[in-house]
């Protein structure tokens, strides 16, 4: 990032339990760094039910909500704060469509994901959908000072 950019944008990336279990953490971070974005915080741990209730509050009541929470509790996740101008839509482009069957080849989900016939789409990564979501989610996972 050129030092003339005063406040680079930030997004919250999560390598979901399927991505971690399949050994794709390095591949996801490689794509993020190869694109030119910078990983500024990185942590592997298990999510808690409280963190997931807050993170996925917008989906509460939807049919995939409980399967989604159970999936996200099924193993460790890797949390990354990623920085760079335009990184919020930029990482969404790298990730590809939510449904890995529909996601274009060249994207993380399109290249590495598939339909496993489960109640919830296991699609390797999460990326914040707006700057406001990124700030909210970063505070959930890393605290207000992140």
Tell me which residues are annotated as active site: 126
**Is 100 one of the binding residues for ligand RTP (CB under 6 A)?**
no
**Is 27 one of the binding residues for ligand RTP (CB under 6 A)?**
no
Rounded distance, CA 111 to CA 22, Å?
Answer: 14
All residues at 6 or more sequence positions from 20 whose CB lies less than 8 Å from its CB, including other chains: 44, 75, 76, 77, 78
Task: Report in angstroms how near the CB of residue 129 gets to ligand RTP at its nearest.
Answer: 5
Residue 109 annotated as binding site: yes
Residue 64 annotated as binding site: yes
* Of residues 119-138, those binding ligand RTP (CB under 6 A): 120-121, 123, 126-127, 129
Which residue, 1 or 43, is less far from ligand RTP as judged by CB? 43
Residue 35 annotated as binding site: no
Which stretches of the chain are DSSP H helices? 17-21, 25-35, 49-55, 65-72, 87-95, 108-112, 131-142
Residue 90 has a CB neighbour count (10 Å cut-off) of: 19
Which residue, 84 or 125, is less far from ligand RTP as judged by CB? 125
Which residue, 14 or 84, is less far from ligand RTP as judged by CB? 14
Contacts of range 99-103, beta carbons closer than 8 Å, 24 or more positions apart:
99/123, 100/124
Task: Report in angstroms how near the CB of residue 2 gets to ligand RTP at its nearest.
Answer: 28
Binding residues for ATP: 16, 64, 92, 98, 109, 123
């Amino acid at each position: 990032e050129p030092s003339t950019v005063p406040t680079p944008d930030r997004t919250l990336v999560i390598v979901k339990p399927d991505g971690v279990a399949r050994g794709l953490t390095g591949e996801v971070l490689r794509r993020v760094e190869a694109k030119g974005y910078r990983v500024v915080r990185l942590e592997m741990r298990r999510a808690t039910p409280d963190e997931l209730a807050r993170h996925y509050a917008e989906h509460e009541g939807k049919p995939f909500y409980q399967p989604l929470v159970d999936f996200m509790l099924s193993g460790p996740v890797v949390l990354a704060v990623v920085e760079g101008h335009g990184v919020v839509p930029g990482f969404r482009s790298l990730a590809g469509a939510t449904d890995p069957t529909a996601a274009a080849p060249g994207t993380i989900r399109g290249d590495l994901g598939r339909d496993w016939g489960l109640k919830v789409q296991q699609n390797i990564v999460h990326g914040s959908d707006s700057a406001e979501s990124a700030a909210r989610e970063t505070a959930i996972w890393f605290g207000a000072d992140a």
